[in-house]
Structure formats: structure tokens, C-alpha cells
Amino acid sequence: MPTDLSGFLQNQKALVTGGNSGIGEGCALALGAAGASVAVNYISDEPEAHRVVAAIRQMGRDAIAIQADVSKEEDVQRMFAETIRQFGTIDILINNAGLQQDAPFHEMTLRQWERVIGVNLTGQFLCAREAAREFLRRGVVPEVSRAAGKIICMSSVHEVIPWAGHVNYAASKGGVMQLMKSMAQELAPKKIRINSIAPGAIRTPINRLAWETPAALQALLTLIPDRRIGEPEDIARTAVWLASDFSDYITGATIFVDGGMTLYPGFATGG
């Protein structure tokens, strides 16, 4: 598998929310490998953020760690101001931070509902808005990219697959789908490209219970026609491509990176 990404994103400046773990970490490392300077956002676990920053610097790229809760407007504005102060501008936002707070529907508290919507949906709105403001201020710099900026929203197969016991999460990702498409429609004339990646089951801390025992993994694999769990690198390579000019004519799209999970595997034997 080709892993040499160098040069794809030369001289570009990226911000990855929730970049100290799982898919965000994978994206931050891949963007660095592709030549970008990377701001690694974290809400907690600062040492992990510094570990990712060190790995990117090891590649000879610029990297910084920035603490912020993406659901808080003042935190997001401070994070963008700090990134722009240090890097000069931003070309790529990976809107990745997300969480689950699961409960049977009739037991779900308003707090659980609001926290998941607040981080997964409002957080993506707040970060995308700050990124768009910077892209609009700066415009296209042809030596850097054909686009004035790129936003990649981390959605989920649950933007289309309903998910019992996780209604807050599924609703947040359904919301991300229309947030992404509506932003893409509005901002395409300004040369801002906005797309989503919808991961299937990826081996990260968020879904540890689904893969850490052999029995759980076996059950999970019945939902995946490709019969393997995804790795953060599967998502990261797609993110680099979506952030690069190789995908210049793509905007408003969701790329499903799911080993076929959205292909109704229950119907594989005729239903």
C-alpha cells in the first residue's frame, strides 16, 4: 500500500480537533507526513497531544498543541486566533472531535443529549465558522492550493444508519450531514470545499467495547462485508486526499470509509 504522502499538502496549515487520540491522531500524523503544519487540539490528556506534536516535528514539520473545548464559542475563537498567530493562517480544518454518551432512549437525560449535540454538531459548526471566516478573509493563494480552504467533517455511517441506544449520537451525525452539505453549497462560489468522511467501525478508544474481546469483534465483523475492522490510517489517507487538490472538484460529498457497512450486510444472502 503506498504510504508516501510527502508533498501532497506542502506549505499548508491544518487544525485537527480531538487530534490527541484515535482518528484525529491518525489524521494529524498523516497531514504532517503530507507536508502540512498541524495544530493538534485536545480537551484533556495534554501529554497525548504533546506526543502527537513531537511525532510531527520528528518529520520536520511545524506542530503545536492547543487546548480547547470545541463546544464552547470562546474556546474555539481562542484556538483559531492562536493557530493563526503561530502559523499565519489556516488552510485545512479536520472537524473531528466527537464523543458518545449512550443510554436507552427512555432513560437518556437532557444532559446526555445536549453534551453529544454540543460537541458533535455545535462543535463542528463553531469550528467550521471560524475556519470559513479565515478562508474568506485570505482567499485563494494559488501557490498553496486551488481552494481558499478545505473543511473535512468527521461524520459516521450513523448519518444514515439509525442506531438504537445512541439516538443523541445518530442525531448529531445526521445533523453533521446537512450542516456539511449546506455549508458546501453556500461556500463553493468562494472556492471553499467542504466534505465529510463517514467512518464505519474503526479501532479507537471510542468503541473499545466493540472490538476488545474476540467475541465482540466476531459480532462486529458480521456487520462489515470486508470482514476487517478499520484502522485510523484508513480514515487518515482519505482525509489527506480530500484536503489535497487531487479532490479539487469534490464538495458537499460524504465519503463512506466503512468496509461496506452501509451495504445492508443482512441482505448479503438474499435477505
Identify which of residues 83 and 96 has a Cβ nearer to ligand NAD in the complex: 96
Cβ contact 235:202 at 8 Å: yes
Identify which of residues 133 and 208 has a Cβ nearer to ligand NAD in the complex: 208
Binding site for ligand NAD (CB under 6 A): 17-18, 20-24, 41, 43, 69-71, 96-99, 119, 123, 154, 156, 199, 201-202, 204-207
CB of 97 to ligand NAD, least distance (A): 3
Q: How far apart are CA 108 and CA 171, in angstroms?
A: 13
Give yes or no: 249 in active site: no
- Candidates 207, 201, 208; CA nearest to 222 is 201
CB of 67 to ligand NAD, least distance (A): 9
Identify which of residues 204 and 238 has a Cβ nearer to ligand NAD in the complex: 204
CB of 24 to ligand NAD, least distance (A): 5
Q: 3-state secondary structure string, 158-187?
A: HHCCCCCCCHHHHHHHHHHHHHHHHHHHHH
Cβ contact 234:265 at 8 Å: no
H or E element that contains 50: helix 46-58
Catalytic residues: 169
